[in-house]
Structure 1
């Protein structure tokens, strides 16, 4: 039975969802790190205990139940992507990314095109590959409005793949026109890899309607989906069966017709083609229960987008009302909030010092470089968001007063 909540229910104090997050004490402390780690609902514990019980009861026979939980996780991601393509699961997006990169023909086409605004998993791995002779082209992420077009222009006959985020992790800017980029890549037989980690849970990402049918889509549940660690996914395009990852685990043999000594290495069909090896299934038990919680409370992609837009808008309005010195902290008011995803990014002279000052006042945010990031979540009330932004005003003014004295 669905016990849906409304935006009005979430705005009030107490927030209608907060009672389901008692272990994370979301009603007592303003956790605005939702873009990096949202709280888990209390039912997550039920999933973890179920994993232990199945292991204790079934011992090695637990894997049939664990694989069923993995299918529930896939089903949850399919609902978010509005797509029924095969999905590979992994402990991290980096784990899945490495397997995908290992399937590319980098000897024949040793060129990868990306942006200078990608998350560290991709940034670091590509930097290391560049040290080994792979040509890595980094297109400036700004201006975001033309990023897809400029990535397409950088594709040539030596390009194996284009790798880009749907939402930029430092600024929350939504990258438009990825469907057009996907068509260019498909026409040139180039793989398009879209990182949707900062989209799922705050920005609907219907793969077919976005024109991303031919794209690989990476995502995970550690941030906005409240699934915790170990729950990442790789959406596979129809032509995925042509690729043979070099980095491959023995779980990728399940269901394959090959694998006998001396034969060419075979791969399982569907998402298991990119499978690894033995893993801790506890994360999938937890994720399956949290996906069920989202369904039970009507937390659909469209509703979560409405909540996110309200909360980010409230934070932006509260920040503007502070009228703080722009040399200390400012936001880009030229960007409509409809072009922003799940958090408010503020550009600061010293973002780390402001983050530390907020932490001293009990407000949890984080920073990336020069950006201070306020990441709301559905279990926070309007009053909590307003209080958090008021605390930023106190930190900035305290620093200014100390500088004058």
Structure 2
């Protein structure tokens, strides 16, 4: 094992003989997360009901601080947490009255796209959906449409079904913000993969991400930054939103805090937040940041692409690869094949060779991580 793989030794040892290219779907967890699990149990047993005060006065501020450093976000208290991004998006949607005019893409993850389709069906949302392909002019087409003005604009930074990424997120947001006030960026597939800098746009957007993918802290801890001086009043609201100073409101009006707790929900299991803090602190100790991880992954991807070129495979080849530029691309490479049957056949053969992959319908995805060592990539294992 190299020095970075040692941080993930428990998962790697339990999967000996396998190369985990399914790390777009589920990353290995670093060893520190086991201690974090136990820490939450110990704190719960010692403090019982008093743990809530401890978590909100210690653990949550620490998580907010660490996330702000990764994102270059200047208002750490304007970050809120939930078990999944679906819950957070629904709080934003619940802030509006009447039919919502919404702009989005055809490549959003199911937790958003399924909910969107149901609300369109119910007559709650009127959506304009922009195709991401051809990607060469996607940003131009999306920005042009945004000039019409929408109640909500929702788009991913990295698209889950392709790995394609918005090239200049800051400039993209700045142009959209000229005509739109409520911009949601789904950063789940970019967080802890691509270097992210919200310093110039964090005041203008909701930014969503979580611990399940590239952070490697497991499921159950998602977060959202909110725009500066956000005044939305979600109808979907929980008791956590009463845990900080409230606005001056009328007697008959529900009050909301002036920070991220404005979009908070209710009781949840904070084990995952403990894991998130442990991983972020581990990376801080090891002096590993998103830029370092991205550079490591690009090297792994380049080695993988050389192997693909050498194979001359009828399906796993450059012609079937969805790729624009590795410098502005997610940490997985996607092959767009003829059918789900071909994908499943190749996926099964790769698994027999110890190569674990991830797929969506007719797209086969190879994910890369800091716990990969490109020296482990062997052409004969891929040539199925």
Scaled by the length of structure 2, the TM-score of the pair is: 0.91
Aligned to 2:383: 393
Q: CA RMSD in A?
A: 2.3
Q: CA deviation at 1:329?
A: 7.9
List aligned pairs for 1:303-342, cutoff 5 A.
Answer: 303-326=292-315, 330-332=319-321, 335-342=324-331
Would you say the 8 A contact 2:74–2:199 is kept in 1?
no
Cα deviation 1:44-78 (Å, max 9, x = unaligned): 11111111011111111111232221222222211
Q: 2:367 aligns to what? A: 375
Q: 1:310 to 1:329 in 2, by over 3 A?
A: closer
Match among 86, 106, 120 for residue 130 of structure 1: 120
Counterpart position of 1:275: 264
Change in CA separation of 1:318 and 1:159 when aligned onto 2, cut-off 3 Å:
same
1:169 equivalenced with 2:160 (yes/no): yes
Q: Retained in 2: the 8 A contact 1:193–1:218?
A: yes
How big is the shift at 1:328?
A: 8.1
Aligned pairs for 1:16-55 (under 5 A) are: 16-25=3-12, 28=16, 29-55=18-44
Q: 1:392 to 1:164 in 2, by over 3 A?
A: same
1:101 corresponds in structure 2 to 93
The separation in 2 between residues aligned to 1:355 and 1:278, in whole angstroms, is: 40
Aligned length: 375
Secondary structure of the residue aligned to 1:159 is coil
In 2, Cα distance between equivalents of 1:379 and 1:130: 41
Show the counterpart of 1:226: 216
Deviation of 1:338 (Å): 1.8
How far apart are 1:203 and its partner, in Å?
0.5
Q: Secondary structure at the match of 1:118?
A: coil
Q: Say whether residues 1:207 and 2:198 are aligned partners.
A: yes
| C-alpha distance in structure 2 between counterparts of 1:60 and 1:334, whole Å | 51
Cα distance between partner residues in 2 of 1:187 and 1:71: 32
In structure 2, relative to structure 1, the CA distance for the partners of 1:199 and 1:255 (3 Å cut) is: same
Structure 1 gaps of 5+ residues are 1-13, 395-405
**What is the distance in 1 between the residues matched to 2:382 and 2:204?**
44
Secondary structure of 1:66's counterpart equals: helix
CA contact (8 A) 1:33 1:366 kept: yes
Q: Is the counterpart of residue 216 in structure 1 residue 206 in structure 2?
A: yes
Contact in 2 for aligned 1:182/1:212 (Cα 8 Å): no
Q: TM-score scaled by structure 1?
A: 0.86
Q: Are the structure 2 counterparts of residues 390 and 115 from structure 1 closer, same or farther at C-alpha, using a change threshold of 3 Å?
A: farther
How far the C-alpha of 1:243 sits from its partner, in A, is 0.6
1:260 positional shift: 9.9
Distance 1:328 1:155, change over 3 A: closer
Q: Distance in 2 between matches of 1:286 and 1:333?
A: 33
The alpha-carbon distance between structure 1 residues 393 and 70, as it changes in their structure 2 partners (threshold 3 A), is same
- Aligned partners of 1:274, 1:140: CA distance in 2, in Å? 30
Could you report, residue by residue, the CA deviation over 1:336-355 in whole angstroms, capped at 9, with x for unpaired residues? 32232211112223222211
Matches within 5 A, 1:284-303: 284-303=273-292
Contact 1:227–1:287 (Cα < 8 Å) also in 2:
yes
Once the two structures are TM-superposed, the CA of residue 179 in structure 1 deviates from its matched residue by 3.3
Render the CA deviation track for 1:157-198: whole Å, top value 9, x for unaligned.
662111111111111111134434433443324311111111
Equivalent residue, structure 2, for 1:151: 142
Cα distance change of structure 1 residues 257 and 165 upon mapping to structure 2, 3 Å threshold? closer
Counterparts of 2:96 and 2:293, CA distance in 1: 36
In structure 2, relative to structure 1, the CA distance for the partners of 1:331 and 1:340 (3 Å cut) is: farther
